[in-house]
């Protein structure tokens, strides 16, 4: 299937409409609107060009992050002054119990959830400065996202789903999408719809989608949460192998300490504070 055929079908536009229309079932942090943001479903121009990092500084730096949410009359503090650094090429696992703030922290580090105060710097650029289009372009060009719920568009084939981030970034995508699917062991499943794939295969498609634009960093939020332990182990193996083979930075949120022990480094969060 050619890029021209994909473009004629208006897949990028349909994806934007579908994702924008889907509301969260678990609150603002986990909604599919966040997938739209992660996929960079927003227009941008040459003026929003992202420049490569020029120094040997840590790739990702967070300083004094605070975040809270209102629940009725209550104010719940989720992040309480978190500071951290991640080096390029590290595989870091962020773990903690449910409600500890790990997903909020990941989304804040990934440019998806603006903190109340504090800063996030990625490759020398402040994530929350500049226009929303520039922020979207940075996510599209530099970041890959894998979520617990896969978030594949059901009417698109595997290769079409994987092609979306590149198409939205106005780049030729079919070849890189096919290469990404082969890299995750799905070279023979490219034309299958999500409903024709197992849970593990759908998550592999999501990983391939995250790889398509050759990002510098991959953010994975509970990527094994919907999988049995054997399939989950295989998905973590895949993420680690891909990150190491391609020299990508990897930040994974998990509640499973056994899986977290396989990274280069573990970060533990409890009550909004890193321990």
SS3 for the chain is CCHHHHHHCCHHHHHHHHHHHCCCCCCCCCCHHHHHHHCCCCCCCHHHCCCCCCCCCCCEEEEEEEEEEEECCEEEEEEEEEEEEECCCCEEEEECCCCCCHHHHHHHHCCCCCCCEEEEEECCEECCCCCHHHHHHHHHHHEEEEECCCCCCCCCCHHHHHHHHHHHCCCCCHHHHHHHHHHCCCCCCCCCCHHHCCHHHHHHHHHHHHHCCCCCEEEEECCCCCCCHHHHHHHHHHHHHHHHHCCCEEEEEECCHHHHCCCCEEEEEECCEEC
Q: pLDDT band at 13, cuts 50/70/90?
A: low
Mean pLDDT for 98-110 is 94
Residue 209 lies in a domain: yes
Residue 15 lies in a domain: yes
Mean pLDDT for 66-76 is 91
Domain containing 137 equals: 3-49+88-114+127-274
- Average the pLDDT over each of 15-29, 35-49, 58-72, 87-101 and give the range with the smallest value: 15-29
Q: Report the percentage of the chain scoring pLDDT > 90.
A: 65
Mean pLDDT for 75-96 is 96
Q: pLDDT band at 29, cuts 50/70/90?
A: very low
Query: What is residue 159's predicted lDDT score, i.e. its pLDDT?
Result: 96
153-182: pLDDT as tens digits: 999 999 999 999 888 766 767 889 999 999
Query: What is residue 38's predicted lDDT score, i.e. its pLDDT?
Result: 52
- Average the pLDDT over each of 38-47, 122-131, 259-268 and give the range with the smallest value: 38-47
| Higher-confidence position of 190 and 35 | 190
Residue 60 lies in a domain: no
For residue 99, the domain's CATH number is 3.40.50.300
Residue 63 lies in a domain: no
Q: pLDDT band at 27, cuts 50/70/90?
A: very low
Query: What is residue 167's predicted lDDT score, i.e. its pLDDT?
Result: 83
Q: Report the percentage of the chain scoring pLDDT > 70.
A: 78
Residue 141 has pLDDT above 70, yes or no: yes
If one counts the domains in the chain, the total is 1
Query: What is residue 32's predicted lDDT score, i.e. its pLDDT?
Result: 45
Residue 167 lies in a domain: yes
Query: What is residue 22's predicted lDDT score, i.e. its pLDDT?
Result: 41
Residue 68 lies in a domain: no
């Amino acid at each position: 299937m050619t890029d021209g055929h994909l473009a004629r079908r208006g897949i990028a536009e349909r994806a934007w409409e579908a994702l924008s229309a889907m509301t969260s079932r678990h609150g603002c942090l986990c909604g599919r609107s966040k997938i739209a943001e992660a996929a960079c479903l927003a227009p941008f121009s040459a003026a929003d060009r992202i420049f490569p990092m020029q120094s040997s500084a840590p790739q990702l730096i967070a300083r004094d992050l605070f975040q809270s949410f209102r629940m009725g009359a209550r104010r719940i503090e989720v992040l309480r002054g978190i500071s951290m650094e991640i080096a390029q090429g590290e595989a870091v696992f962020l773990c903690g119990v449910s409600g500890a703030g790990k997903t909020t922290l990941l989304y804040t580090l990934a440019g998806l959830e603006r903190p109340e105060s504090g800063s996030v710097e990625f490759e020398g650029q402040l994530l929350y400065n500049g226009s929303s289009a520039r922020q979207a372009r940075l996510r599209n060009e530099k970041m890959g996202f894998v979520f617990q719920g896969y978030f594949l568009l059901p009417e698109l084939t595997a290769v079409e789903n994987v092609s979306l981030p590149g198409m939205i970034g106005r780049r030729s995508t079919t070849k890189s999408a096919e290469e990404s699917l082969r890299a995750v062991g799905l070279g023979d499943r490219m034309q299958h719809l999500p409903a024709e794939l197992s849970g593990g295969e759908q998550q592999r498609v999501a990983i391939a989608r995250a790889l398509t634009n050759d990002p510098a960093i991959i953010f994975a939020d509970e990527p094994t949460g919907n999988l049995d332990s054997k399939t989950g182990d295989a998905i973590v193996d895949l993420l680690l192998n891909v990150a190491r083979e391609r020299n990508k930075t990897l930040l994974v949120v998990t509640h499973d300490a056994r899986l977290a022990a396989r990274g280069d480094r573990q970060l533990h969060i409890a009550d909004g504070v890193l321990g």
